[in-house]
Amino acid sequence: MSKPPVIISGIQPTGNLHLGNYLGAIKRWVRMQDEGDCFFFLADLHAVTVYNDPAELRANIRAMAAALIAAGVDPARATLFRQAQVPAHAELCWLLNGTARIGWLNRMTQFKEKSGKNREGASIGLYAYPVLQAADVLLYQATRVPVGEDQKQHLELARDIAAKFNTDYGVALFALPEPIIGGPAARVMSLRDGQAKMSKSDPSDQSRINLTDDADAVAAKIRKAKTDPEPLPDDPALLDGRPEARNLIGIYAALADETPAAVLAKFAGQGFGTFKPALAELTVETLRPIKDMLDRLAADPGELDRLLGLGAERAREVAAPTLAKAYEALGL
C-alpha cells in the first residue's frame, strides 16, 4: 500500500474564527482527516509579524484551538499543533530565506494589501511571511495544502522556492506542494463590501460572522449586510456585477451544501427582506452545535494545552529529518 498523502494547513490564532475560515478552510480540513496524514497548525509565528498584545495572543491561541476542535478537527486523527512549539519552522524559514528572491516576494498581493500605504513601516516579518509559509509546508513533505483562494499565490511561491532549492543544491529534498482550492466556499466576502474578503483582521466586526457570535449578533450582522435593491434572479450568471448578492447566496449554498443555482431556485423573484432572515436562521442553526462545544472546550485551557503539546511532539518528530537534510544540503 502506498503512503497516504501528507496534508498541511494553518490558521493564524489572531481574532476569531469566522465564517470565511470555516467554509473556506476548516470544513475541508475536517473532511480531509480521512484522506491523508493531516497536520493542522496555529500559525502563531505568523501572528507576530504584526504587533499583538501578548496576553491577548496567548488567550487567542487557546480560543482558536478550541474553535478548531469544536468545528471538527480531531486531535486523535490529525496532528494539531502550534508553530511556535516546533522550532523547525523558524529554522527552515531562515534557510529558505537564502533561496527566496526579493523580486518574488515583491509580487505578493497579500503583503501589498496588508501593508497598504505604509509599506516602509511594515515589519520584515510581514514581508517574509510567505517564506515562513513555504517552510511550514516543505518541512512535512506535504503535497496537498487546502487553502482559500487568497493563499494560492503563496503556495506557488512555496513551489518556486522548493524547486530552486532542489536545483541549486542538487538534491531531491522538497516535494512540490499543490494547493487544494475550492470546497464549499473558496472565497467568502465581507458583509460590508462584496469586493473585500471576509477577514479576521478587518477592523469592522460587522464585516464578518464569528463562530463565537451568538444568535442575535449573527442575525443583526446579516440584517445589516450590504445588498442591492434588486430581487434575486433565477440564474447564478445574473449575479455578475452584484458581488454582495452573490456572496450571500454563496454563503447560503455552502452552509446548506447546495449549489448557488439550487438556492436561487428557492428564492428567485424575492428580495433580501425574505432571503436575509432565512440565511440568518440557517447560519445560526449550523453554527449552534459548534458554538456550544467551543464554549465547553474554552472552559478547560489545561486540556487544550495538553492536546497542543502532544501534537507538537509528533510534528517535531516528523519535521526533524527534512530540516536535517536541508542543513546538510547547504553544507552546514
Q: Which residues bind ligand ATP (CB under 6 A)?
A: 9, 11-12, 14, 20-21, 24-25, 147-148, 150-151, 185-188, 197-201
Catalytic residue among 114, 164, 291, 325: 114
Q: Is 291 a catalytic residue?
A: no
| CA 168 to chain centroid | 31
User: 93 vs 186, which CB is nearer to ligand ATP?
Assistant: 186
Cell of 246: 452573490
Q: Are 177 and 144 spatial neighbours (Cβ–Cβ below 8 Å)?
A: yes
Catalytic residue among 152, 164, 197, 325: 197
DSSP 83: G
User: 201 vs 259, which CB is nearer to ligand ATP?
Assistant: 201
User: 159 vs 197, which CB is nearer to ligand ATP?
Assistant: 197
Q: Are 10 and 81 spatial neighbours (Cβ–Cβ below 8 Å)?
A: no
User: 68 vs 100, which CB is nearer to ligand ATP?
Assistant: 68
User: 52 vs 97, which CB is nearer to ligand ATP?
Assistant: 52
Give the residue closest to ligand ATP by C-beta: 24
Q: Is 325 a catalytic residue?
A: no
Compute the least distance from the CB of residue 231 to ligand ATP, in Å. 26
Catalytic residue among 27, 112, 200, 224: 200
Show the DSSP H helices in the chain as ranges.
19-21, 27-32, 44-47, 54-70, 88-97, 102-106, 109-115, 124-138, 152-168, 215-224, 243-256, 260-267, 272-298, 301-330
Using only C-alpha atoms, what is the Rg of the chain? Answer: 21
Q: Of all helices (H) and strands (E), which one includes residue 146?
A: strand 144-146
Compute the least distance from the CB of residue 150 to ligand ATP, in Å. 5
Compute the least distance from the CB of residue 40 to ligand ATP, in Å. 10
Compute the least distance from the CB of residue 43 to ligand ATP, in Å. 6
Q: Is 197 a catalytic residue?
A: yes
**Could you identify the residue written with the cell 480540513?**
29
Compute the least distance from the CB of residue 18 to ligand ATP, in Å. 6
Query: CA torsion, points 276, 280, 283, 289, in degrees to nearest 10?
Result: -170
DSSP 22: I
Catalytic residues: 114, 197, 200
